[in-house]
Amino acid sequence: GQQLNQSPQSMFIQEGEDVSMNCTSSSIFNTWLWYKQDPGEGPVLLIALYKAGELTSNGRLTAQFGITRKDSFLNISASIPSDVGIYFCAGRYNNNDMRFGAGTRLTVKP
């Protein structure tokens, strides 16, 4: 099946540091998406990537769609306390069916 391996599982960083997390799969996806989930809330879309090799930024966030279409990474620059949360990658296949990774839990120490 379309299993996603997301790493790292958790990160503890100091405010101001850069963060990098990634997602890999043995399957090809048409779209890669990155979501953030705050406690007690549903996931919120951060970045969507539609083409292999695509590099997209959203403020301090940058994400890339791997050339092989089997991986993606998300970078957060100059982290701030409100970046705390769980970040999920998701690969989309078919039209709008998505498979989610297990998440990366980010803790930012002031």
Partner 1 sequence: EAGVVQSPRYKIIEKKQPVAFWCNPISGHNTLYWYRQNLGQGPELLIRYENEEAVDDSQLPKDRFSAERLKGVDSTLKIQPAELGDSAVYLCASSQDYSSYNEQFFGPGTRLTVL
- 69 binds partner 1, rule: CB under 8 A: no
End-to-end Cα, the chain, rounded Å: 40
Q: Which of 5, 16, 18, 44 binds partner 1 (CB under 8 A)?
A: 44
How many chain residues touch partner 1 (CB under 8 A)? 24
Cis upstream peptide for 8 (omega within 30°): yes
- 42 binds partner 1, rule: CB under 8 A: yes
Nearer to partner 1, 31 or 79 (CB): 31
Please name the residues in contact with 23: beta carbons below 8 A apart, sequence gap of 6 or more.
4, 5, 6, 7, 32, 71, 72, 73, 89, 91, 101
Nearer to partner 1, 83 or 92 (CB): 92
- 40 binds partner 1, rule: CB under 8 A: yes
